[in-house]
Amino acid sequence: MLKQIENDLLRLISSGKGTYGISIYYFETEEEFVYNHDEEFYAASIIKIPIMSAVLAQVSEGKRSLSDKIRVRSEDMVSGDGILKNLTPGTEWTIHDLVVLMIIESDNTATNLLIDILGVENIQLYMTIWGFKQTQFRHKLQIKPSRKHNESNLITAKEMNHFLRDIAMGNIVSMSVCRKMIEIMKQQKMNDLLPSLLPENDGIIGMIPIWEMAHKTGYVPGVEHNVGLFYLPGHTFAISALSKNVPNRDEPKRIMSELGSLLFNTRELSRYINKS
């Protein structure tokens, strides 16, 4: 199926002035579409997915509990996305709550607290075990690190998409941990990229939704990312869409939203192909 829309995908990506890295995997046929998938990009908040996985790995190993409480001090609060920076210092939050806030609100304060608990080196060690090579985790968020290439958090579309595929197949830590991560990512509050043009899932209470997406976004000036698992009736995709050097935020928003819409419309394409 991806072969049938390959030219449409290439036209869409090439319509932008920025640099894009795209990896799409279609589970039902094992087809792949890739574009600059080995290109390295500044990770932004996409790095929070492996951090979540590392936290849950330590919980699975008995080193932590999701009910453990962490106190948020005023010196822990950092700028950027999230709500913790706006709340009263001294409040305690469970590790579970911090993981959820890190993913669905992209809370940077929650992220840094979890990094402090695990340690940068331990998170990178897990990532190495899980097969990351070019993808590197080197620093906390919103601390104005050097943007030198060898000092930055880096990702590639290829490695992120492979990791998403492993999560979907239950291969990271355990099946139950993978279900937990997907459940959290499905609660994502930032939906202005890949899913933004998809139809509303409104209807009869309890009905099966026409689509679901378990995903994470990432943004810093000049960089806009969206990666995740896209579920349609009879179709499942792993998608990693990365960008850099974009002239404005409108361009990657347009390209990624149209990408999501194009994949959504493969439902009709597949019906035509199956009948012919």
Q: What is the DSSP string of 96-134?
A: HHHHHHHHHS--HHHHHHHHHHH-HHHHHHHHHHTT-SS
Q: What is the pLDDT of residue 142?
A: 80
Rg, Å, the chain Cα set: 19
Mean pLDDT by 10 residues, the chain (276 residues): 92 98 96 98 97 98 97 92 92 97 97 97 97 96 64 95 98 98 97 96 84 97 97 94 97 98 78 44
Check if the beta carbon of residue 229 is closer than 8 Å to that of residue 10.
no
**β-bridge partners, 226:** 217, 241
What are the structural domains, with CATH classification, of the chain? 6-201+209-275 (3.40.710.10)
Spatial separation of the C-alpha atoms in residues 51 and 48, rounded to whole Å? 5
